[in-house]
Every structure is written in C-alpha cells, then in structure tokens.
Amino acid sequence: MSTQHAAGRYAPSPSGDLHVGNLRTAMLAWLFAHTTGRRFLIRMEDLDRAVAGADARQLADLASLGIDWEIPVVYQTARRDIYRDIIARLRDAGRTFECFCTRREILEAPSAPHAPHGAYPGTCRHLTDAERAEKIAAGRPPAIRILADTTEFTVTDLLHGTFTGMVDDFVIQRNDGTPAYNLAVVVDDAAQGVDQVVRGDDLLSSAPRQAYLATLLGETPPTYAHVPMVLNPAGVRLSKRDGAVTLTDLAAAGVSAATVLSHLAQSLGLAGRGEAVDLPTLAARFVPEALPREPWLLGPTEWASTA
C-alpha cells in the first residue's frame, strides 16, 4: 500500500460525457472524502475505450460543480507495465491459470457446486500442458484468471453494512492482453492510498472479488460506500434517449451548472427546492447515514421550471 495519506476517489471511464447520475456519484465521493479528512483523487479508467477529448470535458464538468481534486489525474493506460508486473507476480506464486473459454461457453456450462449461474465453472483450471498447447495451436489466445481459494468474501459498506458476495476465478487479464478492470482498480487504489471507495450501487456485487484480490496482494481492502444510482422513470440507467442528461445538453436548454448542483443536492436531502448551494455548504450538512437508499428517478420534467 502507498504510504500516502488516505484518499477517496472518483474514477470515470472517458468514453463520453458524464451524465447527471455520474455527476451525483462524483459529488458524493467528494463529500465522503472531504468530510473524513481524506485527499480526493481523479483517475481515468481508460483501458477499455476512450473517446478523444472526453476526459477534458469530464474534468471541466466536475470543476463546474465545484469539485476539486489533487493533481495529477492518473490514466490507467500509463500504468500497463505495473499491471503486467502484478499479473506476473501472481502467476509466479501459482495464483493464476490460463483460460480459453468463451463467454458463451461459460454461460452454457453447468455451474460449479453451490455457485450461481454465470460464475466461472472451473473449466480450464486443471488443463494439462498438452491441452493448453493444443488450444493455443488452434489459435485461441487465453485470458488469465485468478485461482481463487474461496467462493465468497465479505466487505464492509457504509450504506449497506456487511455484504458477502461471490468470488469465482475471475479474469485479471483479457485474452487480448488488456489488464482487466477487477485487477487494475485494486492495484491503483492500493498505489494511490485509496482506502474509501464511493461508487454506484450497481458495483456492489464486484466489491467482494476486488477486496479478495487486495488481500492476495497483501493490501487492506478499502471501506466502500455504494450509493444509489439515478434512473429514468422506467427504472433504467440514464442514456441519451432520456434527453437532457449531460451538463452540455442542459446548458443548451438554459439550465446552469449551479441549478444542476441544487437539484442533485435536493435529491440527496441536502438542499431545499431551488436553493442555491455550493459544495462547502453541502459538506457542512452531510450525514452519510441520512442518505437515501433508493435510486433517484429522473423524469424529463425535472428541469422544466428552471430553464
């Protein structure tokens, strides 16, 4: 673990503009960090897909709400060699194996005993050298999976309490050589001194895998706070189909960043309707235990009276 002072973070993927749900989570991450004396960091998780200029627009949108962070912003693509070194370390310790299964083969395979459908069934765990060589010769590059010695792991969440979830032989390097999210996020949090992870509650189920991997690497898992998401009236994740959901869209409709901040604060019980607020004011009012546990359903009329 880094010896740096403890930190919280927000880690977007620069694949497009942030929508108000992303901004609400970022605001909560900032509030959790600042009200507990932590540094606040931004990390760009750009291993999978990055759209040119999206990172700069995301940072500008965060700043427009008053969110600040320590520099530099870390980009995962600059850390590939570090991930590869960690994967090699795990391999040398006998904690990994090569997997040649496709996603479809995994879904169609019988589940391992007591494992839920979709958990990795262990198909490639015990391949012989000859079997591995045959698959490689057939042109199927392997992913690398962690060789898990447990089927579940327990984490502590500030909003959900004690949560025990599944751990299977999850992928730590994809078959194209790209380090997997579940590895990169653990390595980066440890390196940056992140001991508090605030993110959407759709990621709660992935926390046990990541915390388990942290322990394998000799790290202390962070404390989590998986916060409610923002959904459309049908209960589905926000998308462009839902209309004005980014600051750029809203600005074009005459809705200012200050108004968006006010609405986000109101949705969390931190401000009255239409009240002008800033982040220091919200920090003074912030009580994690009082946060809503249900998603915020954002309808098209939310901004109607503000433009």
Q: What is the pLDDT of residue 300?
A: 75
Collapse the DSSP code of 133 into the 3-class scheme (helix H, G, I; strand E, B; otherwise coil) and give the result.
helix
Q: How many domains does the chain have?
A: 2
Task: Give every residue of the chain whose pLDDT is below 50, as ranges.
Answer: 1-3
Q: Is the residue at 302 inside a domain? A: no
Annotated binding site: 9-13, 45, 99, 101, 120, 124, 181, 199, 240
Distance, CA of 106 to CA of 119 (rounded, Å): 8
CB count in 10 Å sphere of residue 51: 13
Q: Is the residue at 171 inside a domain? A: yes
Say if CB 169 and CB 147 are below 8 A apart.
yes
Say if CB 44 and CB 73 are below 8 A apart.
yes
Collapse the DSSP code of 130 into the 3-class scheme (helix H, G, I; strand E, B; otherwise coil) and give the result.
helix
Q: What is the pLDDT of residue 2?
A: 42
Distance, CA of 115 to CA of 211 (rounded, Å): 19
Annotated binding site for L-glutamate: 9-13, 45, 181, 199
Q: Are residues 163 and 246 in the same domain?
A: no
Q: Are residues 73 and 94 in the same domain?
A: no
Q: Are residues 53 and 71 in the same domain?
A: yes
Mean pLDDT of the chain: 92
Listed residues 221, 250, 272: the one ending a domain? 221
Listed residues 155, 188, 221: the one ending a domain? 221
Q: Are residues 181 and 237 in the same domain?
A: no
Q: What is the pLDDT of residue 3?
A: 39
Q: Are residues 27 and 51 in the same domain?
A: yes
Q: Are residues 138 and 97 in the same domain?
A: yes
Say if CB 204 and CB 243 are below 8 A apart.
no
Q: What is the pLDDT of residue 116?
A: 62
Q: Are residues 129 and 234 in the same domain?
A: no
Q: Are residues 88 and 213 in the same domain?
A: yes
Q: What are phi and psi of 173, to 5 degrees?
A: -145, 125
Q: Are residues 265 and 217 in the same domain?
A: no
Among 25, 18, 30, which residue's Cα sits nearest to residue 280?
30
Which residues constitute the domain of residue 130? 79-221
Q: What is the pLDDT of residue 119?
A: 83
Q: What is the CATH number of the domain that holds 290?
A: 3.40.50.620
Q: Is the residue at 303 inside a domain? A: no
On whether the pTM is more than 0.75, the answer is: yes
Give the DSSP per-residue string, 157-191: ETTTEEEEEE--S-EEE-TTSPBPHHHHHHHHHHH
Ramachandran region, residue 235 (left: φ > 0; alpha: ψ -120 to 50; beta: rest): left
Q: Is 37 exposed, middle or buried (0-12, 13-18, 19+ CB in 10 A)?
A: exposed
Q: Is the residue at 134 inside a domain? A: yes
Say if CB 205 and CB 166 are below 8 A apart.
yes
Q: What is the pLDDT of residue 239?
A: 78
Say if CB 112 and CB 121 are below 8 A apart.
yes
Q: Is the residue at 1 inside a domain? A: no
Q: Is the residue at 304 inside a domain? A: no
Q: Are residues 141 and 247 in the same domain?
A: no
Q: Are residues 193 and 283 in the same domain?
A: no
Q: What is the pLDDT of residue 244?
A: 66
User: In the structure encoding, which two tokens stand for residue 156, read together?
Assistant: 């502590």
Q: Is the residue at 305 inside a domain? A: no
Annotated binding site for Zn(2+): 99, 101, 120, 124
For residue 72, whether the previous peptide bond is cis, meaning omega lies within 30 degrees of 0, is yes
Among 242, 240, 233, 276, which residue's Cα sits nearest to residue 257?
276
Q: Are residues 85 and 62 in the same domain?
A: no
Among 219, 218, 238, which residue's Cα sits nearest to residue 228?
238
Q: Is the residue at 306 inside a domain? A: no
Annotated binding site for ATP: 240
Listed residues 186, 221, 256: the one ending a domain? 221
